[in-house]
Amino acid sequence: MNLAFIRTKYFPGQSASGINEGNCFIWAYIVKALYPHAKLYSAPGHAFIKIGNKFYDSERPLGVLTWKQLKATSYCDPLDEEVIEQSKDSFRNYWGFTENVVKKVMLGAEK
C-alpha cells in the first residue's frame, strides 16, 4: 500500500516532514476516514496509523514494520507503554480537534 497520495491530495505544497510537525493527527484521521480498517495510534508528540502489519505516517507512506521506524517517533522517543491504539473518539479527544476540522480539509481538497 502506498499512502503518498494523502500528502499530495490533502496537503498540497506541504512536505511530508512538515505534515509530521503539526498535522500528523489530521493526516492519520484522513487515512482512517478513507480506510476504515486502519487503526489510529498516538505517542507523545506524534500520531500515525497501522494497516495490516505496517505502520504509516506522512514520511513513511509505504509503511514500516514497527512504529519505532517512523522518523517522527525518534524525535519524541516514546516508551512502548506510551504508544496507544485509540478509537476515533479518544483520538480526537487526545489531539483536541473535531471531526469538522478534518471534513474541511477533505472537502477543500475536492475543489
pLDDT of residue 37: 97
pLDDT of residue 101: 82
User: How far is it, in rounded angstroms, from Cα 102 to Cα 26?
Assistant: 6
pTM summary value: 0.90
pLDDT single digits (tens) 46-85? 999 999 999 999 999 999 999 989 988 776 666 777 889 9
Number of residues that make up the chain: 111
Cα–Cα distance, 37 to 21 (Å, whole number): 25
Cα separation of 91 and 43, whole Å? 11
Amino acid in the structure at residue 89: D
Range of the domain at 30: 4-110
Is residue 10 very low, low, confident or very high in pLDDT (cuts 50, 70, 90)?
Answer: very high
The total domain count for the chain is 1
